Amino acid sequence: MYSIGEVAKMIGVSTHTLRYYEKEKIIIPNRNKTGDRMYEVSHLKWLLFVLKLKETQMPIAKIKQYADLVREGEHTTFERLALLEEHQRSIQDQLENLQSTEKMLQGKITTYKAFLNDQSPSMSKST
């Protein structure tokens, strides 16, 4: 079992973020006898998944919806699958957009480098 501070450090988020996720019922940690939050390895795995969803631009509302469905049980499997497939399509769109942008940037970089090479005196011209 891990404390909130240990978990925050392990996964690279603030304790404030973990408390927010708890408030939103995205995660529900255990409590010890004194009321301190205690996290199991399964909580860590869940949080890492949640962070990946967040990193790939899934809105908190959708993450919360997914967490609610998980807690409801196996009868929500179809809904969870649909939600994840929708997010996967969003990620694919993001990737296509990033690839297109990267090509555009590479073209600009190539243009600037060619311009700078033409402007600077070359060694072969001076010898």
Q: What is the mean pLDDT of residues 54-59?
A: 95
CATH of residue 66's domain is 1.10.1660.10
How many domains is the chain built from?
1
In a domain, 67, yes or no: yes
Q: What is the pLDDT of residue 81?
A: 98
Q: Encode pLDDT of 2-35 as tens digits.
A: 999 999 999 999 999 999 999 999 999 999 999 9
Q: Encode pLDDT of 67-113 as tens digits.
A: 999 999 999 999 999 999 999 999 999 999 999 999 999 999 999 99
In a domain, 123, yes or no: no
In a domain, 54, yes or no: yes
Q: What is the pLDDT of residue 102?
A: 97
In a domain, 124, yes or no: no
Q: What is the pLDDT of residue 127?
A: 46
Query: What's the Cα-to-Cα distance from 26 to each of 22, 60, 76, 116, rounded to whole Å?
Result: 6, 9, 16, 52
Q: What is the pLDDT of residue 23?
A: 95
Question: In terms of residue numbers, what domain contains 72?
Answer: 2-118
In a domain, 32, yes or no: yes
Cα dihedral 25→30→32→38 (10° resolution): -90
Residue 2: helix, strand or coil by DSSP? strand
In a domain, 81, yes or no: yes
In a domain, 60, yes or no: yes
